[in-house]
Structure 1
Amino acid sequence: MHLIVMRHGEAGWHTIDQERELTEAGRASVASVAADIAESPWRPEIVWCSPLVRARQTAAIMSEIINCPVIEKDFITPDDDPGRCLDELLEVVTSPLMLVSHMPFVGALSTLLVDGHRRGIPFMTSQAVLLEMPVVGPGCADIRAQFLP
């Protein structure tokens, strides 16, 4: 399975956390990363995104450029347990799949899949990594590519 894990684009701080929107710079950097992913051999067939505004906006830009559907998932918000997402990934047959979420979740999930623990690696806004897994499980993934704005 191929899984692209992405942190949402840069968002403003003018409102409560759940309603933060992408800045113009955030939209531009997401579009740049989306263009790189669209030209790669790992174009996602579907995008899962957090229900928070900035993740939904990021996923919408990805969807428009890559031409794939977006499904909101309520278990990939900033402080959710990456183990729950791992359980959901076990049911997935779509590959490559893209997941758009937040820190610390994206760092914790990626570290769980690559290293088998949840301490979490840092992600910049709009950064994405491609994980390759022969099977879905802790410590089973390798980072195959990185997409930076």
Structure 2
Amino acid sequence: MHLIVMRHGEAGWHSLDQERELTEAGRRGVAAVAAQIASSPWRPAQIWSSPYVRARQTAAIVAEVLNCPVQEKAFITPDDDPGRCVDELLDNQVSPLMLVSHMPFVGSFSTLLVDGHRQGIPFMTSQAVLLDMPVVGPGCADLKAQFLP
């Protein structure tokens, strides 16, 4: 399975956390990363997005560039358990799949898949990584590529 994990674009701070919207710089960063993914061999067949506004806006930009559907998933918000998402991946048949979420989730989720622990690597806004997993599980992924704004 190929999995692309992306942090949402830069967001403003003028509202409640769940309602924060992308800035213009955030939109440009997301579009730049989406263009890189579009020119790669790992175009996702589907996007899973956090229900928070900034993640939904990020996913919508990426979906438009890549022409793929988006599904909101309530279990990939900032403080959710990465183990729950691993469980959901076990039932998933879509590959490549893309997740659009937040820190600290994207860092702890990616680290769990690559290194088998949840301490978490940092992600910049709009950054995405490609993970290659022959089997879905902790410590089973290899980091294959990074996409930076």
TM-score range for the pair, normalised by the shorter chain length: over 0.9
**SS of equivalent residue, structure 1 residue 110:** helix
Q: How far apart are the structure 1 equivalents of 2:119 and 2:7?
A: 17
TM-score (norm 2): 1.00
**SS of equivalent residue, structure 1 residue 5:** strand
> Which residue in the other structure is 2:107 paired with?
107
**SS of equivalent residue, structure 1 residue 123:** coil
Q: Deviations over 1:12-70 (max 9, x none)?
A: 00111010000000000000000000010000000000000000000000000000000
Following superposition, the deviation at residue 115 of structure 1 comes to: 0.2
Following superposition, the deviation at residue 102 of structure 1 comes to: 0.1
Q: Deviations over 1:83-131 (max 9, x none)?
A: 0000000011110000000000000000000000000000000000000
2:124 is aligned with what amino acid?
Answer: M
Q: Does 1:126 align with 2:126?
A: yes
Provide runs of 4+ in structure 1 moved above 4 Å.
none
Alignment of 1:68-147 (within 5 A): 68-147=68-147
Q: How far apart are the structure 2 equivalents of 1:63 and 1:117?
A: 30
TM-score (norm 1): 1.00
Identity percentage over the alignment? Answer: 81
**SS of equivalent residue, structure 1 residue 100:** strand
Q: How far apart are the structure 1 equivalents of 2:135 and 2:92?
A: 11
Q: How far apart are the structure 2 equivalents of 1:64 and 1:138?
A: 31
**Pairwise CA RMSD:** 0.3
Q: How far apart are the structure 1 equivalents of 2:89 and 2:127?
A: 21
> Which residue in the other structure is 1:66 paired with?
66
**SS of equivalent residue, structure 1 residue 56:** helix
In the comparison of the two structures, how many residue pairs are matched?
149
| Structure 1: tracts of 5 or more residues without a match | none
